[in-house]
Chains A and B, each alone.
Chain A
């Protein structure tokens, strides 16, 4: 199927779907993580979850404008490690942010459209900060990833 907008080709639409899938996964991860977090960490996890909900709706809206049916969320996702306590919950947030950064960087590589590249770049900057805060929570160094989104 070809895109409704000549500037956004099928490759870019596929990359947007990939970013949407990462946002679905991130929202699921935060919902799980919040159950094991308390205090400031729980508050921050809710804020970060909201940021991903906002991104999800933006991507869905964009895909709708492009005439592409937005991919749905999976009913559940496999976590790399069992989430059983605050530390493993924070670690899952690191994974979610790292995966989302990779998806948004991949979008940049799969479109020349300036508006899409700008949106992906802004999202990477905000996501790098979220990722850094959770990396700090699990004592991962360096706190700020050196090449955010790099596979």
Chain B
């Protein structure tokens, strides 16, 4: 935790020291206007995490207390992200449910998946406009917290 606090201090205290070229990146978009909506990948990840965690609970009911809240959270993330995607693209077809995992996932696999999802959401947040960044940041923070407590 000390390391995290220190890097955060450096980020905040050092924000004026960034060269303008780096600062300009914050206004860039990860994809062009014609690229896919970056929230689609995040919604897919939310559905996949929910399916993975549900499979882990099905394989070992002892994991229910730790993982059922994650199943519920990631399901709600998927719904909220999907609503935002559909707002900009009303013709988007209803996405197919995530396929069930092929292997028998355990706590470790779920932790790794939600950690990766949190990082992906955090990375996506940088390029998003104000009306979308809050939702994606909340998803990222929620995933990070699950990744931490499931370690």
Using a CB–CB distance below 8 Å, which chain A residues touch chain B? 5, 7-8, 51, 54, 58-59, 61-62, 65-66, 101, 105-106, 108-110, 112-129, 132, 141-150
Contacts and interface: CB of A to CB of B under 8 A. Distances in A.
Given A114-B18, A121-B125, A129-B149, 7 more contacts: A51-B5, A61-B12, A114-B22, A114-B26, A115-B14, A121-B137, A126-B8
Given A117-B125, A121-B125, A132-B149, A58 B12 contact: yes
Interface in B6-62: 7-9, 11-16, 18, 20, 22-23, 25-27
Interface of chain B: mostly helix, strand, loop or mixed: helix
A132 B141 CA distance: 11
Contact of A121 (B15, B27, B141): B141
A119 B11 contact: yes
A59 B126 contact: no
Interface residues of B, number: 45
Contacts of B140: 121, 124-125
Contact of A128 (B16, B130, B144): B144
Interface of B: 1, 4-5, 7-9, 11-16, 18, 20, 22-23, 25-27, 69, 72-73, 76-77, 80, 118, 122, 125-126, 130-131, 133-135, 137-142, 144-146, 148-149
